[in-house]
Structure 1
């Protein structure tokens, strides 16, 4: 289906659900059987949209787009300098800064175009770049002079993109400053192992103070360390390292494990790791499963080598404790409980639900026969 106004209608359709910041720039030129049609408009989003064609064949990129970008960047900077929108101390606006909010439809025609790329949809003809740049620059400069509000809107949009980029850069620099400090002070909540032999040492990450007590009492102080974390740690799935380091539990684990933070990354240097095994010991209930997942998410996102090289373990306590006479049996889960009930048949036993390490919540206070109340 064709439209009366061609790519002018196309660009309007692309921006139909967006707030336009400028009017539409349109140009159409042909030179020595090589021609270009361009429609461009800025909107208030932070993404860019390109629709490229060569001889009506859709393209994903190419030299015609490079020519347009060069023309746009050069023309905008010349205009901004001439009109005082850029101060002498300001750096030129970059092509990356001009991409935010840009919608472009570019239709290019030429005899015998050359394509490259895996799917042969990237225009690689070198003359396309120079011709598009020259033809677009001429008309774009006139359009900017005749539409000062549009020109200023483009410059302002680009400068906002620059400000956002600089803010993000400062956040990374904050991480790097943390990197450069040697994190030699171990967390105060860590009950460390006495041995300095990493290969024989292991650390238990336990859920809260209640689990810390019995774990510390039962551990081998020479080779086993205990680090309690309070509840559910930060979900780091969509969190950058800068924010993650602000979480006390995550920062404590990084220090305790012997990891380094450098150049905005968590570095796993095996020669500096303090434990041969890092064991997450969460409760057997749903909350415990969630805590394990959050812990593994943190490790997989920032220090996946610990998993890949076999340093990470998960200790899962039983969900139930069955007692009959002087006998005790721990049951991993509901499946194990059902199997146990069938085994016990008519024998009486008392059943408790394990909240965590050494913490048992009694279920019924009356005895059970084969898992069924008397």
Structure 2
């Protein structure tokens, strides 16, 4: 029996049955997913024709069987004869590329696994725009997208007869995770210590700090007082509407780990100040001065290359500010002042 399957259509022809006693009156056919079944096309009277073509809802990759029986003029019914089964492939003998993934919406930096569901394929090649790795020959590879956006995915399926390519446009949506960048600045040479957590993180809507001393905070760029010497593990958790990132590090206060207090070497005056502050040292040459607010954000910076400097703070709002002083020898010192009109 010859069977041809095309898009939602199945056709077959068979050698005519013979009955020397009573001749053949009519043929009946059915189509099923197993030999003898009629779960796709129910038994249908085909008259005296030994061929048919019929529409059916066919599933790609499924094997279908055509079944035929004959009725003679005496009303006797023959045994059922079934085809060997034919697999429905839209491209004939070529492979049919199909795939899915573990999730189509994920935060940047998280794993995404792709699953090859191709039919009649001996091997595959993947192309992942914007991912690491950006290609693979593995059947079910795992990749990472580091940047937010929407990305195309391409799968090429191969067999001995050729190939089939499937590209899904904008298939993966990557939500941007917070990118954390923290620089703690320590002020003080003995307890209590004030630490300004300079926060340059991006894509952050909400902040949660664990300062490692039993205290927490929710400011974006907090300053925190540590009452005692010691090593503290601080943890910063940043989140936005879809994603969360966490960063932990250790800060050591006291002993060789402490950053020197700038007031030991550089005089800051007047303090409180109104329009200007002066920074002066008898021996140290300053390279760059940076002023931060209590929120950790930079207010201004100025290059000096001298042991004395005048800084205009007339436009600053009233409040407390921290000063980072980079020396020509590479050392960084810290101090603070109060702006008060």
TM band (smaller chain) = under 0.3
TM-score, normalised by the number of residues in structure 2: 0.21
Of structures 1 and 2, the one scoring higher in RCO (CA 8 A, sep 6+) is 1
Which of the pair is proportionally richer in helix? 1
TM-score, structure 1 normalization: 0.20
Structure 1 or 2: more strand by fraction: 2
